Amino acid sequence: MQVLSRVLIATAVTVIAMSLTAPMAFATPDAQPNRIRVEYVPPTNPEHQKIYEMVKERRTLEKLQEIFGAFRLPSDLLLRTVGCDGVSNAWYQRGRVSVCYEYLSEIQRMMPHETTPAGITPADAVIGQFFFVVAHEMGHAMFDMLDVPVLGGSEDAADHFATYIILQFGKDQARRLIAGAAHSYKDFVQNPKVTVPLAAFSNTHSPPPVRFYNMLCLAYGADRVLFADVVTNGYLPAERASACRKEYGEVAFAFKALLGPHLDKAIARQVMQSNWLPEETTKPAQH
Ligand SMILES: [Zn+2]
């Protein structure tokens, strides 16, 4: 009995030790890069035909396939555009990221007609928001498919994942993508005082202004010169800005520890050095 219990205790200790030392940040042996598959599902709603042809012609999904192909995945991940019967959404579920044509249309509809006073071109507003949304869903996909533990809200973690990825591109692209993505929150951050129903704070996503500030804070924390005007122009309050370098450091540390081992470094380097954005037709007012 005593021998048996000693064996059991030893086994239990080993199991506990293993679970403590296995943060699951090791790449799965048979995981491979370039496992993103793409599909433009033909729309059933004729109103979506134009946007369907546009994203297909611009090879939008193929670009994302290449960018996120740097992650070594244990199985294929499908990225698709699809009609959603009137619902404007994007989501991740069981190895599949779906972006509705309704959502793409909405992004297009909301774009500014001309370069904004903050220097955001209509094209950058569309691309920035679209890229951020896809990268957010990719974040959910990576957490799930790579068994990445998430401490805290997974919606905030997916936002951090998306922002961190954007900030790894060259300065010009990072700046344009962050500006475009931040612009999508403009309706939520125009008034210095907001009144919302209490239930708005119960959503799994943080309230839009919080997501806006989190994004700007990480950007400023990553590069206080490139994003200096985020503070000087009053988009990000100075009190928050003082903590942003630390906040960015925490996200960078988590990303490197948890997702770094799943990245094909050579592909990732190539992806980050490539130019993904179209030539700017209008130069930003402040740069
Ligand atoms: Zn989400």
Q: How far is the CA of 25 from the centre of ligand 1 (A)?
A: 22
Residue pLDDT, tens place only, 178-207: 999 999 988 888 888 888 899 989 999 999
Q: How far is the CA of 73 from the centre of ligand 1 (A)?
A: 20
Q: How far is the CA of 153 from the centre of ligand 1 (A)?
A: 10
Percent of the residues in the chain that have a pLDDT greater than 70, as a whole number: 87
Residue pLDDT, tens place only, 86-145: 999 999 999 999 999 999 999 999 999 999 988 899 999 999 999 999 999 999 999 999
Phi/psi at 77 (5° precision): -120, 125
Residue pLDDT, tens place only, 47-82: 999 999 999 999 999 999 999 999 999 999 999 999
Asked whether residue 11 carries a pLDDT value surpassing 80, the answer given is: no
Q: Which residues surround ligand 1, an ion (CB under 5 A)?
A: 155, 158
Q: How far is the CA of 136 from the centre of ligand 1 (A)?
A: 6
CA distance 139 to 1: 50
Alpha carbon separation from 277 to 6, 231, 282 (Å, rounded): 63, 25, 13
What confidence tier does 30 reach under pLDDT thresholds 50, 70, 90?
confident
CA distance 52 to 102: 10
